Each structure stands twice: as C-alpha cells, then as structure tokens.
Homo-oligomer: A and B are copies of this chain.
Amino acid sequence: MTRIRHLVSIDDLSLGEIRELFQHAKRFGEDLRSWSELCRGQISASLFFEPSTRTRLSFESAMQRLGGGVLTAAEMKSSSAAKGESLADTVRVVSGAYADLIVLRHPSEGAARLAAEYSLVPVVNAGDGSHEHPTQTLCDLYSLWIERGRIEGLDVVLAGDLLYSRTIHSFIYALARFGANIVCVPHRGFELPEYVLRRLREEYGAEPVRADASELGDIAQESDAVYMTPNKPHQLSLFTDSRGFRVDRVDAVYMTRPQTERYRVEGEEEGRYMQLGANEMAVGPLREAVLMHPLPRRDEISADLDDDPRSIYFKQAARGVPIRMTILAHLLGRLELSAEPPVSDARRFAVPPGSNPCPNSTCVSHTEQRHLRLSFKLTSRAPLRAACGYCSQEIPIGLVGCSTTRHFHPRDSATARKIRPDHLIFFRDEAQATALGYSAATR
C-alpha cells in the first residue's frame, strides 16, 4: 500500500510539485466547469471546528467543480466533540467510509498533524489556529506566478501587520523558499517577530538589511523598511549603502488587515491603521506593482482602488478555487505529478513519557487530552534547539536529560550535545527534572 499523502504544511510539497500544480491550476482555471468527471464518486468532508465560511466554500466549490460530493460539518463544536470525543476518534470515524478526503479547520495549532496521524484518507489543513493554512499560501503564490510568470527574483513588499498574521508569515517563508526578494514595510509596532527572522536566516539564508523605501511614499513613511534576498547573503551588501538598500521598483504589494482584536490599544482610538488608496499607489516604484490582499479587508484598501487594473485581490480569492482543485485531485489520486515529493522530515523524535514540553497553550497537544503522539523536531544541535512536533513552536530548554541514563545536563554542555536524539528529554528547570525522576549527572 502506498503511503497516504496529506497537506498539513506547505513543506509537504516540493518546489517541483508546486510548480506542476500551478500549471494544472492554470489549465483548470481556463474553464472551471469542464472538469466535473475528474473526481466523480469521491467525497470530501469539511470538518470545521471553527467557522470560516469563505475557506469552506472555496474548498467545497473546488470539490464540486471536480464532480465530487461534499459533506459539511460547519460547526463541529456543537456535536460529538461536545460529547467529549477526541479529534483522533472523529477523524478515524469520518475517514473510515464517510469521506475520501478530509478538509480540517481547527482553532488549535497542530490539529491537522494530529488528524493526519489517525486518518485513513488524505487530510488537508484549512487552517490550524495561527499555525499553517497551506492552500491560502499556495493561492497567494499562484496568483503572483500567474501575474508575473515566475516568483524567483521578484521584489515583493509586505505591508501592515507583520507581527501577528499567520498568513503573512507562511507567505514570507514561501517567498523565501522560491527565491523572491522581500521588502518588509510594517505598521509601526507590528514588525516581523524575531523567530520568523531567525527562520528566514537559518533556513533560507535571508539576512535582513535596512532599506531606503522613501520612494514608496506613504506606505513606508511610518516605519523602517527591511530588505531580504534569500540564499544570497553576501551579494546584497554590494547594493547597500548607509541609507540601506534602495527600493525603486516593486513587483507586488501584499497588504494585510490589522488583527483587530490584538490591535486596539487601550485609551487609543481606532483607525490609525495604514490605508492604501489611489494616491498611495500613484508613486513611481509601484507603477507596475500588483496589489494583493488575503481578504476580508476592512478599510486598509480604499474602494477607489477596486477598479484599478493593478488590484488583483478579488482575482486572488477566485484563484483559490483552481489551486484547491489541483490539491484535491492530486491527493485523491486523480492528478499525477511527475516531480519528486519532498524529502521527509527525518529530524522528528518521540517525546519520552513524562511531561509535554510544548510552551504553547493553544497547541493541540494541550487542548486535546487523548490520543496524542507527542514528538519534537530537532531544529539545531549547537545550540540545542527543538520545536513541538505539532505546533512547531520552539521548546524552552533549561536542562537536557537522557532517557536511558536518567541524568540531566546543562543545555549547552558537551554531554548534552552527545545524547542520541531519540533519548533526549527537555526540562524547564531542575525542579521539573527531579520531579520526573532525573538526577544531576555525576562528574
């Protein structure tokens, strides 16, 4: 039996596969109504543990345009979950005979990975908390590729709230992976967080440099711009003078909405968030830039841009249907790709019994009580760094234990570095290590 493939993270697809999917999506998009035999007889189930009408309708449209059937559970909370059923059991039942593919939306980070571990059919992550939403990212990349014919080497401005938005973080990693140049123009106080910058540096070799974005006009006036070129850390310095890299031509502006619930500052009035209008888009470097937005928008893009040919945000949303058609058809075995799949992540290890080291309280490893298979990913050996196998958040490591010797060691000690990964256990502090029956290593 071939292994079931899932789409939990965009990293479950290789660059080659993504490029092939784009070609197929283009073909599908030419006449959406002519593919209704491709998945005839197949059924997808939308299991939505939090409402997201737009995402759900996009997937359900894609499945129906492929001729497949759809089962809808738009508000899963109200039903069996309320009777205390574990996510693992729900997934095992639905994947048993009800559906041939599961589209899962869940408020907890890592939920889609947990589901994939137990499902008998492919699982597509339609958003797991603030973790991943890979088809949204694919849709954004695809829209850029359709407009520009390529992604590598494009100069893409990311504007607005770069701190909290899951969408923007996933998109930035994907841009870096495809070799696009990234210009961050954050709303003041909403800069890209340090852990995103570190991953960009460590995984994609993208070193941020100061950028002179004064030619971008109002978009950039409120904050310090930053420029990153992945995989070419040294080349960039050639273009940089004391004012920073000069941004004078942009291929795309990706605008984000404020995460309102986090944005409102007490005592301050609302509405200071940046707003793009015809004036802001009139500056030279943006003359040929397409304007993107993940939608829904509120006021951050004015209506006076809606009919501007550079505004592609509605097209971008529409393109979610053909790109999701390719994902569904591929995972259902009705669309073969010739590119190699990605090399599987070999650095994943089981967490020894004891305690869950994940610090993220909304991670599925904490919100689900049963049927968990705790694991961690070893992201770096020196310094020792690890991430939760479900939600990818970094595990705070105070001390390091070895599950065979039952000793603990300082995190950066030579001994800690030599422990086999499948024997590693992480402690916040000595109290926790002792409580779990570990003792200090004898000299």
Contacts and interface: CB of A to CB of B under 8 A. Distances in A.
A202 interface: no
A98 B58 contact: yes
A89 B84 CA distance: 35
Interface in A196-229: none
A132 to B, nearest CB: 20
A93 interface: yes
A314 B43 CA distance: 19
A350 to B, nearest CB: 15
A54 B80 contact: yes
B78 A71 contact: no
How many copies of this chain are found per oligomer? 3
A33 interface: yes
Interface stretch (A3-11, A156-164, A319-327): A319-327
Interface string A5-49: 000000000000000000000000100111010001111010000
A295 B58 contact: no
A256 interface: no
Contacts of A58: 98
Nearest to A32: B97
B73 A57 contact: yes
Interface stretch (A59-67, A239-247, A284-292, A389-397): A59-67
B71 A60 contact: yes
Interface residues of chain A: helix, strand, loop or mixed (majority): helix
Most buried by B among A29, A58, A96: A96
Contacts of A78: 51, 53
A45 B69 contact: no
Given A57-B98, A71-B57, A321-B97, A92 B314 contact: yes
Interface string A290-317: 0000011111000100000000001101
Contacts of A314: 92-93, 96
Contacts of A92: 314
Contacts of A90: 296
Contacts of A53: 73, 76, 78-80
Nearest to A34: B41
A86 to B, nearest CB: 8
A405 interface: no
A384 interface: no
Nearest to A71: B57
A96 B43 contact: no
Contacts of A76: 53
A424 to B, nearest CB: 24
A321 to B, nearest CB: 4
A380 interface: no
A298 B88 CA distance: 12
Contacts of A61: 43, 69, 71, 97-99
Most buried by B among A53, A71, A93: A53
B296 A84 contact: yes
Interface of A: 29, 32-34, 36, 40-43, 45, 51-54, 57-58, 60-61, 64-65, 69-74, 76, 78-80, 83-85, 89-90, 92-94, 96-100, 260, 295-299, 303, 314-315, 317-322, 370-371
Given A57-B98, A97-B320, 16 more contacts: A34-B41, A36-B41, A54-B93, A57-B71, A57-B99, A61-B69, A74-B74, A84-B298, A85-B295, A96-B315, A96-B317, A96-B321, A97-B318, A97-B321, A97-B322, A98-B321
23 contacts: A36-B41, A41-B65, A43-B65, A52-B80, A53-B80, A54-B80, A54-B93, A57-B94, A57-B98, A58-B98, A64-B70, A64-B71, A74-B74, A83-B296, A84-B260, A84-B296, A85-B298, A89-B295, A93-B314, A96-B314, A97-B317, A97-B320, A299-B370
